[in-house]
Structure 1
């Protein structure tokens, strides 16, 4: 199966008349235009805040890791693509953090969540915070996280909170492209040279221990596993058996890698906390 065939089959069910090969985060349409931002009656506010915070953290940390490919990607086109994917995720983080401030009653803005929390307060999945690694690792991680996040966001489009549902609906379009981009590269590398194939095998082995944590955070195992098997088989690869890694990012368990990432991300904001630009 060629990478185009993988792309087309994975894109089924996401045809909205747009070209799914392009990121959607660069548009100017406000996804919350006309959406009531009040928290509806019957919604568990604490659960809503926890969901938005965790998903916002996933997006922010992933965006920061993708930004590390600027000036380092194998081709300029891929550098731009990865940067745009990171910007999509940054946009999702901003919307989700803003919803946290609305829902928890504090009125805090997105900067408070992004720049003025320590690593122990973050609730992202740990796969997102691992070092950028080589290109094969970044592609495998992007494939796994975008497939998982897309399945999760598809569920959230039916959320009882209209704001979260609108954020999810916008995110589905973006994440569809993210997954397709990663799938195409996974096939290209896995079915490429012997060297690129070996690098992909290593990357899959590195990601495998973190799969169970994703599915504990959101039970979309069957759907995501089916996607990963489809892509890996087309690439001439095998999906490793996941092993349980102790701890959960959603519970505040962190790797040693998040604190240095946040130190870099937050340095300017903390040095000039009241600055305006």
Structure 2
């Protein structure tokens, strides 16, 4: 779109698409392994929603980049250092409680962000956000209900959910760390500065954690580097080996 730096817009779109791609893959790892059939189906559907959103975000990123690549190229032919996802979404699933805690912490952020993107100055971003926000409204409702049910459940489920929150909370701060790309998108009206989303996020998360009888850690420390590509955990490389191996082994194969 006119007046927007295409490289910065592409980076913003990669951040959106990489978050949903990597988390979608992580959630899909539960397929056939969930504790009950209903949860197996629900997580599989969540993963499909996230991968559908990925197709839209990375498809638009490829269009903006204009070098002939496709969404599939961006998903399967980039190396770990080229990904721009939050560190939170690449972390291993852990137990079921840890997976749902990670899901809620991301869903809460995702729902707040998409709500603002509905007012984007970029028509394509608005259209993607409109579709995704309907799915994410369900995601955040479901993950919040599960966190409350497990947190305010048995002694063991409460302990596991508190341990999951303690483990994952240091990865939350990265969601709100602004840089030049964020400031450029905010100035152009494409997307909000993520730093301005923190109060709404904290209110939503605080309400759910109170109902779940869980204590949010009293720490402002935040792991960072994923969304800028400066640093990723060792887990992303292993994930990409599983996700990309077929396309890497048989380049351009189709069936």
Q: Which has the higher helix share?
A: 2
Asked whether the equivalents of residues 43 and 160 of structure 1 are also in contact (C-alpha less than 8 Å), the reply is no
Shift of 1:216: 1.1
Contact 2:171/2:224, CA 8 A, preserved across alignment: no
The CA deviation at 1:246 is: 4.5
2:222 matched to 1:245?
Answer: yes
* Residue 255 of structure 2 corresponds to residue 268 of structure 1: no
Distance 1:86 1:241 in 2: 31
Question: C-alpha distance in 1, partners of 2:51/2:147?
Answer: 24
Give the deviation of 1:245 after TM superposition: 3.3
> TM-score when scaled to structure 1?
0.83
Q: Once superposed, what is the RMSD of the aligned Cα atoms?
A: 1.1
**8 Å Cα contact 1:212/1:242 also seen in 2:** no
Task: Determine the C-alpha separation between the residues in 2 that align with 1:119 and 1:254.
Answer: 8
1:88 deviation in Å?
0.5
Distance between the aligned counterparts of 2:41 and 2:120, measured in 1? Answer: 33
Tell me the equivalent position of 1:23: none
Give the superposition deviation at 1:204.
Answer: 0.4
TM-score (norm 2): 0.90
- Give the drift of 1:238: 1.6
Q: Is contact 1:212–1:243 with CA below 8 Å preserved after alignment?
A: yes
Q: Does 1:44 align with 2:5?
A: yes
> In the alignment, is the contact (CA less than 8 A) between 1:43 and 1:161 conserved in 2?
no
Q: Distance in 2 between matches of 1:145 and 1:136?
A: 14
Match of 2:73 among 109, 112, 131: 112
Partner residue, 1:163: 124
- Give yes or no for contact 1:229–1:238 (8 Å, CA) kept in 2: no
Q: Tell me, in whole angstroms, the C-alpha distance in 2 between the residues paired with 1:166 and 1:175.
A: 14
Do residues 64 (structure 1) and 41 (structure 2) align?
Answer: no
Q: Where does structure 2 lack aligned partners over 5 or more consecutive residues?
A: 179-193
1:257 counterpart SS class: helix
Q: Distance in 2 between the 1:94 and 1:242 partners?
A: 36
How many pairs are equivalent? 238
